[in-house]
Structure 1
Amino acid sequence: MRRDQVPARSDWRARVEALGFDFHTLEGAYWVEDGCYRFEQHEIDLLEAVGDELHAMCLDAVADVVRGGDFEWLGLDGVAAGLIERSWRAGECALYGRMDIAWSGVGSPKLLEYNADTPTALFEASVVQWHWLEDTFAGRDQFNLLHEALIQRWRELMPEGATVHFAGCLQVVEDHVTTDYLRETCAQAGFRTKLLDMSDIGWKDGRYVDLQDDAIATIFKLYPWEWMLDEPFAIHLAKAESRWIEPAWKQVLSNKSLLPLLWERHRGHPNLLPASHDPRDIEGAVVAKPRFGREGEGVCIHDRGTDFANAGVIYQAHAPLYRSDFGYGLIGLWVVGDDAVGLGMREDVSPVTGNASRFVPHCFG
């Protein structure tokens, strides 16, 4: 694994915009055209195997939480618990997720967190970096089966002839592109789709409806479950027949209290870091993370653990990210269904990866 410089395509802006990637420049450069991360085949094989194993461990953890009713330990109230139990026991299946992994190519990859409810940077990982590879021939291949896997997953999730609604905060360009891309994969799988903003979801005659008063039978929402529960329409969630993707049980996996839960179950596992709700349980440098934070929000790195715990915060042993002259590199390991199927690299001058951290393409071979 290494970070390389590569020649930029002379017309790269026009090329990525033609794909629908209009946010290649956010607070400065977001898409990195003149660099890439190179892996060896055995490194990709290792990451794939690690992703599959960690995902299976996470599903076992959800089953344990539902069986034991340990929702308060996760900071989840009775309403959230009821939705989780119902969706898990009904066997509602998930679409996708992204594990954030710290690894330098030496030692064992370490799980930092699981973005299992509303992961973004998907379009960049699935489509944009694949076209970069085809244009540049920078490497022989890329760990990127995302597009094909998503199409196949829709066919596994949905009955023939179904209509799927897609909702998100459409005024946010990244959310709009991600939602629209997933809608396109669903359409390519052979299903009818409808797009709407979260604010356009209504309730009429005992069912959720869209702006045309069409019933919402199945809906993908790029919107966190903890925000959903604060919406006015949340009072109907327990009785509505609508099926949500991602399902409500994803609240367990997207909750950073998952990290101490996994550590308690698999203490010493090579791909896990010590984690706890009490910083005194962690030796050496520690990372404090809000239970429901996203995109690096509220994450702090301390040289050593503090002497007191803050409510709603988990503490995890610090695992250094891959570091080069260009910054810190974070591995995003994509899971579709139950399989690790792709990789996306984020990079920042800060060791905390945030919303505007750069996306860098990768290749191997």
Structure 2
Amino acid sequence: MKRVAIAERPNWKALADEYGFAYAMPDGQRYWDERAYYQFTLHQIEKDIEEGTEELVALCGEFAGRAVRDEEYLRRLNIPSIYWDWLAKSWQRHDKSLYGRFDFTYDGTSPPKLLEFNADTPTSLYEAAVFQWFWLEDRIKAGALPKDADQFNSLHDKLIARFKEWPKSGLFHMTAFSEELEDRKNVEYMAECATEAGHRLVLIDIADIGLSRNGQFVDLQNRSIDTLFKLYPWEWLIHEEFGSAMPASNTIWIEPPWKMLLSTKAILPELWKLAPNHPNLLECYHEGDPAASSLGSSYAAKPIFSREGSNVEIRRDGVVLAAPEGPYGDQPRVLQALAPDVVFNGMRPVLGSWIIDQDPAGMGIREDAGLVTGNTSCFIPHAIVG
């Protein structure tokens, strides 16, 4: 694994505009950065990243099967009891999941270590699936990369194939808080994939979803919402005014209700408890657990529902090295052993290993000079060479 400097395409900004990558430079700041790329060998991808991802998929499945009736765990996630049977039935029915993203730290030599699992509403999908693939093709054509260079990236094709698994008899609705540009653009990309899979798509803002008198969810044209992809977190949705109507509705939800079990950093200590010393896990405990004393005074304290690195506190030998502000400071936290400090040319990469259903499907890399990957961290392409 290397971080390799490379000339950027002179027209990449125009290409981003042409392809609808509207958040490539939010507020004039680089988010997409192709002045470097991360180079991997095929062995590193197949043996470390893909196999590590498969291991964690299996562990998460084993844990979900145990947690689905664990009332203590459900309370810890602040899931009201009115949803417990619905969640359990969703798991027992094997309601279909679309995707997820495991975030790793990895140095190219040691096994990748899990930082967190984005099981419900992962973003950075378009740039991982499409824009970095176009970058790879363009760099090969220009002779900047070898002709046999490749990428860990079957996301686009696997997304389309997975969307074909849902019923096509009615309309397929997709929603997000559309004022958030990145969320809206990720949903628009997924809508293109679903359309290619044969669905009739309706895009709707989360605030425009209504509830009919007979307890069914409808859109602004009063059409029944039979299948709904939501880029909106379960931990918010179940506390919305209309949330209590969800279990009795006929809507098929993507991600399914059982994903509530996994879409939280609270799974990190549970996975460690299930598989202590697993090579892909970092030691982790719920804050207040006496066993957490084994971490000493060096750890990462993470609110269980924080996003984009907000309110994550990094301590080393009792000294706070980073503590980005955010709205999640009043949440329960987990304490996770510090990951190895992997640095390439002054930058710290986090590898997002995507799954479609349960299958490893691609990778996107975010990097930052700081200790916490946040909203302003850059996305860097990758290539498999050798």
Under TM normalisation by the shorter chain, which class is it?
A: over 0.9
Deviation at 1:305, TM superposition (A): 6.6
The residue aligned with 1:230 is 239
1:278-293 alignment to 2 at 5 Å? 278=287, 279-283=292-296, 285-293=298-306
**Per-residue CA distance 1:321-362 (angstroms, 9 max, x = gap):** 531224111000000001111000001111100112100000
**C-alpha distance in structure 1 between counterparts of 2:67 and 2:201, whole Å:** 34
2:302 alignment partner, SS class: strand
The residue aligned with 2:33 is 32
The residue aligned with 1:341 is 361
Q: Is it true that 1:217 corresponds to 2:226 in the alignment?
A: yes
- Contact 1:103/1:321, CA 8 A, preserved across alignment: no
> What code does the residue aligned with 1:180 have?
E
Given the two structures, how large is their TM-score scaled by the length of structure 2?
Answer: 0.90
**C-alpha distance in structure 1 between counterparts of 2:196 and 2:317, whole Å:** 50
2:257 alignment partner, SS class: coil
- Contact 1:95/1:337, CA 8 A, preserved across alignment: yes
Deviation at 1:159, TM superposition (A): 2.4
Greater shift in the superposed pair: 62-71 or 111-120: 62-71
The residue aligned with 2:162 is 153
**C-alpha distance in structure 2 between counterparts of 1:283 and 1:154, whole Å:** 46
Deviation at 1:284, TM superposition (A): 5.6
Deviation at 1:37, TM superposition (A): 0.5
Q: Is it true that 1:58 corresponds to 2:60 in the alignment?
A: yes
The residue aligned with 2:342 is 322
Q: Is it true that 1:124 corresponds to 2:110 in the alignment?
A: no
CA pair 311-224 structure 1, distance change in 2 beyond 3 A: closer
The residue aligned with 2:217 is 208
**C-alpha distance in structure 1 between counterparts of 2:318 and 2:157, whole Å:** 44
- Contact 2:160/2:193, CA 8 A, preserved across alignment: yes
The residue aligned with 2:136 is 133
- List gaps (5 residues or longer) in structure 2: 320-329
1:256-267 alignment to 2 at 5 Å? 256-267=265-276
> What code does the residue aligned with 2:206 have?
M
2:95 alignment partner, SS class: coil
Greater shift in the superposed pair: 15-24 or 211-220: 15-24
- Contact 1:35/1:360, CA 8 A, preserved across alignment: yes
2:264 alignment partner, SS class: coil
Deviation at 1:231, TM superposition (A): 1.6
Q: Is it true that 1:199 corresponds to 2:207 in the alignment?
A: yes
CA pair 75-236 structure 1, distance change in 2 beyond 3 A: closer
The residue aligned with 1:166 is 174
Moved segments of 4+, more than 4 Å? none
**C-alpha distance in structure 1 between counterparts of 2:10 and 2:70, whole Å:** 57
**Per-residue CA distance 1:203-225 (angstroms, 9 max, x = gap):** 11321000000000110000001
Deviation at 1:30, TM superposition (A): 0.5
Alignment partner of 1:185 out of 176, 180, 193: 193
Greater shift in the superposed pair: 331-340 or 280-289: 280-289
Greater shift in the superposed pair: 232-241 or 352-361: 232-241
The residue aligned with 1:16 is 16
CA pair 269-329 structure 1, distance change in 2 beyond 3 A: same
**C-alpha distance in structure 2 between counterparts of 1:305 and 1:292, whole Å:** 24
**C-alpha distance in structure 1 between counterparts of 2:318 and 2:238, whole Å:** 33
> What code does the residue aligned with 2:40 have?
F
**Per-residue CA distance 1:53-94 (angstroms, 9 max, x = gap):** 101110111110014443224443313434422321222110
> What code does the residue aligned with 1:291 have?
I
Greater shift in the superposed pair: 158-167 or 330-339: 158-167
- Contact 1:331/1:346, CA 8 A, preserved across alignment: yes
- Contact 1:166/1:220, CA 8 A, preserved across alignment: yes
**C-alpha distance in structure 1 between counterparts of 2:170 and 2:358, whole Å:** 23
Percentage of matched positions with identical amino acids? 39
**C-alpha distance in structure 2 between counterparts of 1:111 and 1:330, whole Å:** 10
1:43 alignment partner, SS class: helix
**C-alpha distance in structure 2 between counterparts of 1:321 and 1:142, whole Å:** 25
**C-alpha distance in structure 2 between counterparts of 1:280 and 1:76, whole Å:** 28
**C-alpha distance in structure 1 between counterparts of 2:213 and 2:69, whole Å:** 34
> What code does the residue aligned with 1:246 have?
E
**C-alpha distance in structure 1 between counterparts of 2:14 and 2:238, whole Å:** 41
Q: How many residues align?
A: 361
1:297-312 alignment to 2 at 5 Å? 297-304=310-317, 312=332
The residue aligned with 2:324 is none
**C-alpha distance in structure 2 between counterparts of 1:292 and 1:82, whole Å:** 22
- Contact 1:283/1:317, CA 8 A, preserved across alignment: no
- Contact 2:301/2:334, CA 8 A, preserved across alignment: yes
Deviation at 1:240, TM superposition (A): 1.0
> What code does the residue aligned with 1:78 have?
S
**C-alpha distance in structure 2 between counterparts of 1:311 and 1:121, whole Å:** 25
